[in-house]
Amino acid sequence: MYGVSPYDIIRRLYPEIRKVMCLETAAGRIGLSKDWGVPVSVFYDTGYIINSEYFIGIKVPCLDDLQIIIHCGCECTSREQTICDLFRLPSSVQDRSEGLLFYYYVNNGIDGVLELAEKYELVDRIQKELEFLLECYEEPVDESDEPFPVFVWDGVIK
């Protein structure tokens, strides 16, 4: 069996075009989410890419305006850029939520994201989303409420 990773797809398709992993693909590759990253999403600024079920090219005015890192030999948006992109472009709610929470806990806040979010006018939206997520995930559990009824078997079949 032959497997193909998002890295293989990026390297082999359109080798003459500079491509930067983005959105869910970047989130999965740099550890912001558990997503595998398919379809593979990339930003590009020159040339032409035909989108398919497995590969999506998003043309941007200039790749140099993005925060880019090198990950396993491929260009990829930074964690901060990826989170902002997940909020400003159509994307998976799951990846957006996972990424924001992961960043919050690893970095003890989201100051780095908010700095970049100002550029895209996303600060309020991201802060509201984080507040909502923290309420959901940090809601205290009432120990007296058991989530499922407890059945104790007495060993007798009736």
What does the pLDDT look like over 36-83, one tens digit per residue?
A: 767 899 999 999 898 988 899 999 999 999 999 998 888 999 999 999
Closest to 86 measured CA to CA, from 73, 99, 74, 75: 99
* Torsion angle defined by CA atoms of residues 100, 103, 108 and 110, in that order, rounded to the nearest 10 degrees: -60
| For the chain, domain boundaries | 6-137
Rounded mean pLDDT, 97-117: 95
Cβ–Cβ under 8 Å, residues 96 and 129: yes
pLDDT at residue 1, as a whole number: 42
pLDDT at residue 155, as a whole number: 59
Cβ–Cβ under 8 Å, residues 68 and 76: yes
Rounded mean pLDDT, 21-29: 93
pTM of the model: 0.81
Question: DSSP strand E in 6-148: where?
Answer: 20-21, 40-44, 55-59, 68-71, 74-77
pLDDT at residue 17, as a whole number: 92
Position 18 confidence tier, pLDDT thresholds 50, 70, 90: very high
Q: Higher pLDDT residue, 38 or 96? A: 96
pLDDT at residue 32, as a whole number: 92
